[in-house]
Chain A
Amino acid sequence: MAQEMRELVVATASRWSGVEPPNEVALELAAELQAIVVAFEAVRGGLRFEDEPAGFEAALQACKETP
């Protein structure tokens, strides 16, 4: 699975961004994205249709301490 992820990241980075793996460590870290995929799979189902990035500043205000 790690090898598959490594190859996927290398292909995506090259095709979409024109960036090639700069060194061996980059390939090591690319393979570790598999853990993030698993983490995202584990939290699926929690996002509402209306949620959008613009809500964060409003959330900061909504969560501040009230006297």
Chain B
Amino acid sequence: MGATLVEDIDTLASLSLVEAAAAVADGSISAVALTEACIARTKRLEPKVNSVIWLDEAGALEAAEAADAARRAGAALGPLHGVPMAHKDMYYKAGQRSSCGSAIRRDFRPSITATVLERLEGAGAVTFGGLNMAEFAQNPTGHNRHYGDCLNPWNAAHITGGSSSGSGAAVAARFAFMALGSDTGGSIRLPASACGVTGLKPTQTRISRYGVMPLSFSCDNVGPLARSARDCARVMTVMAGHDPKDPTSAREAVPDYEAALDGDLRGLRIGVPETWFLDGVAPSVLAAMEAALAVLQARGASVTRITLPLIPELAACSSVVSRCEAATIHGEWMREYPQDYAVHLSARLFPGYGIPATHYIEALSRRGPLLQEFCRQVFSDYDLLVTPTIATELPTRAETDIDQGPPGTAAKFMAVASNTRLINYLGLPAISVPCGFDSLGLPVGLQIIGRPFAEARVMQAADAFQQDTDWHLRMPSL
């Protein structure tokens, strides 16, 4: 491949999703050229990232050609028209392979299509691949025994974060303009933080989960990883909203999230929890967060240090719900094929079979009252909470490899998600945006948390931050 062609491809691939969609819509770039650029860059650099499980080059180019034909014919164009994407390999498309990052489902081909895929493709998106992920979406680091660990594009020795490891890495590497992840305890926000991209976990029930591999039906969420909050807002407007095929999805009206990104943070009240979320925080991470808070303050937000209530209750209950639900979902396979799971996964599933049902029900029963009390005590005085997404410096894959490491490795592995999992139990929306680098040169993420259905406010603050900073524009050298 000639140097000029590589430069052209890299220039196209470095656009934001919103810029790419605008370029296709006004005809300055064809959907085919954009798709070819993404696939070419993926093929060239994938050995350094290992973010892709399958590529559908022919299908993607066919869809891109149809997108270009529709534009030439003067058809109405959707907000994602001709934009190439790839997704965590757990979003079902009828007849298409969906491995869920596992050996057990290596050749699984579902008979249904996920509602979110239908909505994205209905808005014009072009899907070109299935992305690496933690096995059955169940680790916060990105380790995968079956397809190989996904490699952090900033430093392959370090974790990508998980479980949406390939989604974080592929967006960071500029293979895809957006990638769906899923978030049950931090699985969108953690790879977003570790890979230096933007990732949103919406309010529980905000997006349909029909056709999406389950992990914990009470805490699972669908959401985007993209290059900016504005990109996330564009796809959120397409994806959110009730789905008759998923009765648990909320009937809440969907705003135009992108229209709410006005950069105006005057009067915004930010609380910064000093307990739990800053336990063991690394100085470089703390410095990045403080610098980010100064940016938000300069935009008109007020910042107050607070002590969060109810942490012991939330920690106790959140640790039970997803364990029990995941153990239940995997019961048949844990009896029949325990050897087909990675050590870290079967080991984490196992304790779920020893928790009494009364404690699981208790944890669920407390969820609504705890949410209401948390919101009464916190969100009556503050609009948003801000924390580091990962409090420590980013660990290496070796340091957190339960399958290969010494006893005690599990503690380091679990600590990665300590700032995210409570938010899933509460069902709150939260975004992670890049806000600097740690002393090892790995990205640091800022977590912004809102009250239920406050995605617009969360993304508004994130976008305002990104208007004044360029952390989200930094690209790893591959």
Residues in chain A within 8 A of chain B (CB atoms): 8-10, 12-13, 16-26, 28-30, 32-33, 36, 39-40, 42-43, 46-48, 51-53, 55-65
Contact = CB atoms under 8 A, between A and B. Distances in A.
A30 B316 contact: no
Contact of B351 (A9, A53, A61, A64): A9
B88 interface: no
**Interface range on chain B: under 10, 10 to 19, 20 to 34, or 35 or more?**
35 or more
Given A19-B353, A60-B453, A64-B454, A51 B368 contact: yes
B304 interface: no
A29 B452 contact: no
A7 to B, nearest CB: 10
A4 to B, nearest CB: 12
Contact of A16 (B218, B353, B369, B407): B353
B191 interface: no
B348 interface: yes
Contacts of B366: 46-47, 51
A19 B365 CA distance: 27
A18 B334 CA distance: 9
26 contacts: A17-B331, A17-B334, A23-B347, A25-B347, A28-B410, A29-B410, A36-B316, A36-B319, A36-B320, A42-B312, A43-B313, A46-B313, A47-B366, A51-B368, A53-B368, A55-B365, A55-B369, A57-B248, A59-B369, A61-B452, A62-B372, A63-B375, A63-B379, A64-B451, A65-B453, A65-B457
Contacts of B250: 57, 60-61
Interface in B278-334: 312-313, 315-316, 319-320, 327, 331, 334
Nearest to A20: B338
Q: In the complex, which of the residues B252, B312, B339, B452 has the most CB atoms of chain A within 10 Å of its own CB atom? A: B452
B457 A51 contact: no
Contacts of A29: 347-348, 350-351, 410
A42 B367 CA distance: 17
Given A36-B319, A64-B451, A65-B451, A8 B354 contact: yes
